[in-house]
Amino acid sequence: MKKEYCLVLLLTWFTLYSCTAYKPVVIVHGVWDLRDSLNFLAEQIQQHHVGTEVHVIDILHGWKSLAPLWYQVKDFYARILPVMRQATDGIILIGYSQGGVICRGIVEALDHNITTFISLSSPQAGQYGDDFLRLIFPQYIKETVFEVFYSRVGQRVSVANYWNDPHHQDLYYKYSNYLPFINNEIESSYKEDYKQNFLKLKKLVLIGGPDDGVITPWQSSHFGFYDEKENVTEMRDQRFYSKDLFGLRTLDKADKITIYEVPGVYHTDWHHNLTVIKNCIIPWLD
């Protein structure tokens, strides 16, 4: 009887331990998101991956989400740092939409112990589309907004930091102070740090789909983008991949990248879609 009681205690302890041994998950919201926008995703993770500690970073909502991305990188990092310090085995980082581009800045530019980065419908190779532009700056169209975005004043707006006009690449590289830097396409004293920090990742998950309706081209969520004729060049044909500028090819060759192409999901539904959450996110939380 005493042995059976000890066995029950041991099994109970083991069950409790296994439920609390998961890495904490940190979620970073996108542009215009409200305080509770990502709560459903957090709740589903806790429900379907019992024992997982989830942190939805509660800063820079609404208009504040239009702050310059380097400012947001530092602000989000300051909130994530205490979680990382407590997590000796590392954390899992989920970035939705613009939040995924912010998360990539954190991964590359700052010291971290992020083991898995899940990019949920994020314009990792940039953005160039009217549908997206109308949501934020309805008075502009994609063909002319470069005149505003590609300036020192324009770069004070987050969207301008990853606006990638395929017809004005000279201005993009001259004025854009975020995306071409984390792509390591511009010489800087941080190039090697960006690459080495990116290569700390053990897993990169890229989620997007053809019915997104906001990320343009939608393949940007998979590091694909337009060429000068607005034909989409996929990730493995991008210069930053072929030259392995920030480590993307190295990660891919090591089989550390998983890409999900999910049809039938509109941009604002990704973090509410149970199929996406269960099939594309939950499996990478163990």
Give the integer Cα–Cα distance in Å for 63 and 225: 27
- Degrees to nearest 5, angle at CA 62 with 60 and 66: 70
Q: Which of 37, 212, 220, 222 is flagged as catalytic? A: 212
Query: Which amino acid is residue 43, in one-letter code?
Result: E
Q: Which of 37, 65, 97, 221 is flagged as catalytic? A: 97
Strands (E), 141-282: 203-208, 225-226, 232-233, 257-261
Q: Let me know: does 65 contact 28? Beta carbons within 8 Å.
A: no
Q: Which helix (H) or strand (E) holds 120?
A: strand 114-120
- Is 267 catalytic? The answer is yes
Q: Let me know: does 29 contact 35? Beta carbons within 8 Å.
A: no
- Is 212 catalytic? The answer is yes
- Degrees to nearest 5, angle at CA 149 with 143 and 153: 150
Q: Which of 29, 49, 267, 271 is flagged as catalytic? A: 267
Contact partners, residue 226, CB within 8 Å, separation at least 6: 128, 164, 166, 217, 232, 233
Catalytically active residues are 97, 212, 267
